[in-house]
Structure 1
């Protein structure tokens, strides 16, 4: 089987691949957490929060595909298997059962804040080895920050 040749040095490829893989795990789990909240949401602001959660899911799913495809483009293999995500996620999980809309808004605001912090660290780490991957993470971070602002405004 032919491997994709990386346009990066081996050292740069390793750094970038690690940043992209960690970002992929964050984005996959963000989609899962937001969908779990979407399904179990209750409360007076149900409709607004319910629909807003789908925006987060759509952003996370599109972004995870972009991140995974970038990894392949630099010759790295993305790993989005459920076991990998479960083992490597840093996202706090929601409790089981029905979830009050105020608790969901607070939890998603917090989750987005944590992910944004990690993305910003990765952006700094990619400045030298790969500005192209850095640019991808910058654009995703901008969208995550927009969602964070919109959830935070509901608290």
Structure 2
């Protein structure tokens, strides 16, 4: 079986691989949380938040693939299986059923804030281990912060 030889030293690969795996779980669950809210939102702001949630889903899905491919490029295997995501996520989950628009905005704002905090930790963790991955985390953080800003002003 073919494997990818890491361009990183073993310790750097381990630290960077763990950061990428954590990012992968966060991004996959962000797409699921946002889509669940998208399907069940109600209220006066339905249309604008409903459509905005799709932007968050698209962003999360795009970066999910980029993060997973980066993991493989450094010789680690990404694990995006549903069981792995369910076991490792720490994101708040939306309530079942219909969700009022103000609650969706608050949920997404809080969720994005949590993810941004963890991405900033990953930026610091990869400063010395892999600046290519760090650059990717910086790019993702900027995109997440833009979404956070856009949701937070609706509160």
With the length of structure 1 as denominator, give the TM-score of the two structures. Answer: 1.00
In structure 2, the partner of 1:10 is 10
Alignment RMSD (CA, Å): 0.3
SS of equivalent to 1:95: coil
Distance of 1:93 and 1:56 partners within structure 2 = 15
5 Å-filtered alignment, 1:26-105, equals: 26-105=26-105
Whether 1:131 aligns to 2:128 is no
Distance of 1:127 and 1:114 partners within structure 2 = 20
Distance of 2:108 and 2:4 partners within structure 1 = 37
Distance of 1:94 and 1:150 partners within structure 2 = 19
Runs (4 or more) in structure 1 with deviation over 3 Å come to none
SS of equivalent to 1:80: coil
How far does residue 60 in structure 1 lie from its aligned partner after superposition? 0.1
Distance of 2:15 and 2:101 partners within structure 1 = 39
How far does residue 49 in structure 1 lie from its aligned partner after superposition? 0.1
How far does residue 73 in structure 1 lie from its aligned partner after superposition? 0.2
How far does residue 42 in structure 1 lie from its aligned partner after superposition? 0.3
In structure 1, the partner of 2:110 is 110
Distance of 2:100 and 2:117 partners within structure 1 = 26
How far does residue 46 in structure 1 lie from its aligned partner after superposition? 0.3
How far does residue 44 in structure 1 lie from its aligned partner after superposition? 0.2
Whether 1:142 aligns to 2:132 is no
SS of equivalent to 2:136: helix
How far does residue 125 in structure 1 lie from its aligned partner after superposition? 0.4
SS of equivalent to 1:22: helix
Name stretches of at least 5 consecutive residues in structure 1 with no aligned partner.
none
Name stretches of at least 5 consecutive residues in structure 2 with no aligned partner.
none
With the length of structure 2 as denominator, give the TM-score of the two structures. Answer: 1.00
How far does residue 3 in structure 1 lie from its aligned partner after superposition? 0.5
How far does residue 45 in structure 1 lie from its aligned partner after superposition? 0.5
